[in-house]
């Protein structure tokens, strides 16, 4: 996915929409900026398929040698896929954070939207000010 086409949480998670099996699916990951800030990643806790997620609420965490950072869902819905191979291959987050570094896929809840999330320019501005 192209970073410019995604929407972002202030907490550095991104979301991009795709269609799978005729349904709108939100693909969620963390940004290159977040990966750079965390540096040496050592562990990731992931949700399970079928788990409900709510926008702004924690769905997992990523741990580096520096800190443990919660992962916050940018959308409401149900987890339909988890990138389970990522936990054993955390370097993918740094190598391809907007592609093969995706973390979960979420079937959006009825009425869920991406309103309130930052667009690429607003997100980059926030990162520059950090």
Model pLDDT, residue 103 = 96
Percentage above 90 pLDDT, the chain = 68
Low-confidence ranges of the chain (pLDDT < 50): none
CB 68 within 8 A of CB 94: no
What pLDDT score was predicted for residue 112? Answer: 84
Output the pTM of the full model.
Answer: 0.94
Question: What local confidence, expressed as pLDDT, does residue 130 receive?
Answer: 79
Burial 4-36 (b: 16+ CB within 10 A, else e): eebbbbebbbbbbeeeeeeeebbbbbbbbbbbe
In CATH, 3-129 is 2.40.50.100: yes
């Amino acid at each position: 996915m192209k970073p410019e086409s995604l929407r972002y949480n202030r907490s550095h998670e991104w979301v991009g929409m795709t269609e799978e099996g005729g349904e709108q699916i939100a693909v969620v990951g963390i940004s290159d900026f977040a990966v750079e800030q965390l540096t040496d990643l050592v562990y990731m806790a992931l949700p399970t398929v079928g788990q409900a997620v709510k926008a702004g609420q924690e769905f997992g965490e990523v741990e580096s040698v520096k800190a443990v950072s919660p992962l916050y869902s940018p959308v409401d819905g149900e987890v339909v896929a988890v990138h389970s191979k990522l936990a054993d291959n955390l370097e993918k987050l740094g190598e391809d954070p907007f592609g093969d570094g995706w973390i979960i896929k979420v079937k959006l809840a009825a009425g869920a939207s991406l309103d309130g999330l930052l667009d690429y320019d607003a997100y980059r501005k926030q990162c520059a000010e950090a």
